[in-house]
Amino acid sequence: MNQPRILVVDDEPNIVDMVTTVLEFHGFEMTSAATATEALATARLHRPDLVVLDVMLPDGDGFDVCRTLRRTLPDLGIVFLTAKDTPSERIAGLTYGGDDYVTKPFNIEELLARVRAVLRRTMPGQAHTTEEAILRFADVELDEHACTVHRSGHPVSLSRTEFDLLRYLMINRGHVLSRSQIIDAVWSSHYTGGSNIVDTYIGYLRRKLGEFGPNLIQTQRGFGYVLREGSET
């Protein structure tokens, strides 16, 4: 069965990259657009099942895009993703035809849950993911369902935060992640402490994984961290 097609519309490349990377990993077919004009053209071409739609676009208003899409694709799922978070704007988004409304900064896991919930309503009976429960990188295996981690066959005991941090690094393997990206994904947008908490937990992970093999979590100086084999740069 074909997997749902999702269109991400946002003019911030880092948000498009993060949302696309995570949703692709969970089995969705992804396309993206950076403007209202491009969003409408891409929707006509690819006919997505759901749109993750920013409200403030360089050449128009996401509410107008939503209204236009509703006329041509009445069964389309629409999740607004925006920094506008007043009650009146939320009501406007739902009035114009949106199915849900997520505010920036956001937790990527929350967005994934909202996307799945909307698809359950708009595509009943459809299989929404092909994801495996086990993530693998090098000799590390992380079982999302059992919440366990093994390296070279050895169990690695992690706290919940360490587990979530490793999972995020594995989903984004090969991609350099800034401290702010990691905080938003692992600690959520409500965290108000310092960014050095990321360094602390990276240290915990390195020590625990390092008992059974070489370091896999590399520091990209001036940028952040990346899960990658080989020597650090």
Please give the pLDDT value at position 213.
94
The residue that leads in pLDDT, 128 or 44, is 44
pLDDT in tens, 6-52: 999 999 998 999 899 888 888 899 999 999 999 999 999 999 999 99
- Sort 174 into a burial class: Cβ within 10 Å, 0-12 / 13-18 / 19+: exposed
DSSP per position, 127-181: ------SEEEETTEEEETTTTEEEETTEEE---HHHHHHHHHHHHTTTS-B-HHH
Give 194-228 pLDDT, tens digit per residue: 778 999 999 999 999 999 999 999 998 888 999 99
Share the mean pLDDT of the chain. Answer: 85
The token duo for 23 is 């949703």
Answer whether 119's CB lies under 8 Å from 129's CB: no
Confidence of residue 164 (pLDDT cuts 50, 70, 90): confident
Beta bridge partners of 174: none
Please report the pLDDT score of residue 188 as a whole number.
Answer: 62
Percent of the chain with pLDDT over 90: 43
